[in-house]
Amino acid sequence: MIKNILQCLLLSAGIVFCLNEKTFCQVKTDSNAWHKNFSVGLYNFNYLRDYEYFSPIMEGYTLCGSIVQPTIEYKPSSHVSFRGGVFIQQNFGDDSLRVRPTFLLTIKNSSNDFSFGNYRNENGHQLIEPLWFTDNLVTDNIENGFNFKQKFNHLELDNWIDWNRAIKNGSRFQEKVFGGLTAKIYPLKIPGQKLTLPIQVCIQHTGGQINEPDSSFYVTTILNADAGIKSILKNKNSNKFISEFSAEAYYVFYKEFSPNPHLQFTEGNGIWALLKLKSKTGVGIDMAYWQGNNFISPKGNTLMQSISSVYPVSNYTEKERQLIFFTLKYEKEIAAHVNLLFSGEPYYDLKNKLLEYGIHLHLLYTINEDNHLPKGKLRRRKIIDP
């Protein structure tokens, strides 16, 4: 099952790449000016994510630290770039460092963007919170594999495979692969309003054939998907306090396709609804509702699961989860290339009658770190919404 799905993802990327091969090859490289095609970039992400939780599903913890990634980019043409660098992460209070080299080859034209190597997944492939937890910004900042984005007149696609963990002969652990496809359909074009029909599918597979046999290993394939509707209304009047309002709603689905199903729930679903207000001052308010039934999502928000992550591991489950979220946030570019995000996020658990909260602080500094903008400028970028 998983091999067929991965083959389909690779095939779809290959077909579109081949169709656009002539476009990619039209631009010639000036070998006499190769030294002008180098640039230096820097990515620095500082984070504090604190959860004061005492839920039977998820206990509180704190993530505090810094990620630094200096890079050198070689761009022989407007369609091709190669970037190499070093990824360094320090979680404060932990003396160990996470250090690894990174390499990324990007080939793109006006409607296609294909990257292969180590790429940062800062927007979670635009997956919704039940499918992609924003803590992954810290725990899974770098993905390994390919990311293929396409733009059409009424459609945008994001196709990826992330090889989380590889095995070799005799490995005492299992391989892990995360892949999927997200689509945004734009059925109507209304001035000042954007209507989107999102469809998202992602798969987490754990298994392997050449690792050392272990009775505790299970071949596990989990499918998560959702379909919804999203509307964004922008205020053209710059004098008004509210600059943007958005509303979205999704039906979310979960299914275990393992050869020998072993999870507490093998199939489930949920409803995710969200309202957002943004102001011209950088202040924003989000209100959200989650109702999940027998729901499991390996990359999703832990609080929304029907199974417990509390240590030590227990068999505690809640077939139905009903949560209300309220987020007050402030996002601002406080200096050139420096963005600040501060947010408080209380939530209420309707079943367990719990009122708890989390606090997030992000400080992001970037220079020349956006492949999609013209070269030669110091480029700015905002932090993802929490």
What residue spans define the domains of the chain?
Answer: 2-25+37-367
Distance CA 293, CA 278 (A): 31
Residue 319 reports pLDDT greater than 80: yes
Backbone angles phi, psi at 123, to 5 degrees: -110, 10
Find all residues with CB under 8 Å of 178, minimum gap 6, and list them. 143, 161, 162, 164, 202, 203, 204, 205, 298, 299
Residue 12 reports pLDDT greater than 80: no
Residue range 188-244, pLDDT digits in tens: 877 777 899 999 999 999 999 898 888 788 899 999 999 999 999 988 777 778 889
- pTM, two decimal places: 0.86
Closest listed residue to residue 184, CA positions, set 168, 199, 206, 166: 199
Q: Are 288 and 314 in contact (CB under 8 A)?
A: no
Residue range 33-84, pLDDT digits in tens: 555 788 999 999 999 999 999 999 999 999 999 999 999 999 998 899 999 9
Contacts 24+ apart (CB under 8 A), 264-269: 264/296, 264/306, 264/307, 264/315, 264/317, 265/294, 265/295, 265/296, 265/306, 265/307, 265/317, 265/319, 267/294, 268/292, 268/293, 268/294, 268/295, 268/296, 268/306, 269/293, 269/294, 269/295
What pLDDT does residue 302 have?
A: 96
Best CATH choice for the domain 2-25+37-367 from the list 3.40.50.720, 2.40.160.10, 3.40.50.1820, 3.40.50.1860: 2.40.160.10
3-class SS of residue 20? coil
The full DSSP string for 280-336 is TTSEEEEEEEEEEES---TTS-GGG-SB--PSSP---B-SEEEEEEEEEEEEEEEET
Element (H, E) at 13: helix 2-19
- What's the half-sphere exposure (Cβ side, CA atoms, 13 Å) at 18? 6
Find all residues with CB under 8 Å of 227, minimum gap 6, and list them. 197, 198, 199, 200, 250, 251
Residue range 228-269, pLDDT digits in tens: 999 999 887 777 788 899 999 999 999 999 888 889 999 999
Contacts 24+ apart (CB under 8 A), 118-121: 118/87, 118/142, 118/143, 118/144, 119/143, 119/147, 120/43, 120/69, 121/147, 121/160, 121/162
Distance CA 293, CA 268 (A): 5
Which pair of structure tokens corresponds to residue 99? 């250090």
What pLDDT does residue 312 have?
A: 84
Residue range 99-108, pLDDT digits in tens: 999 999 999 9
Residue range 261-316, pLDDT digits in tens: 889 999 999 999 999 999 989 999 999 999 999 999 999 999 999 999 998 877 89
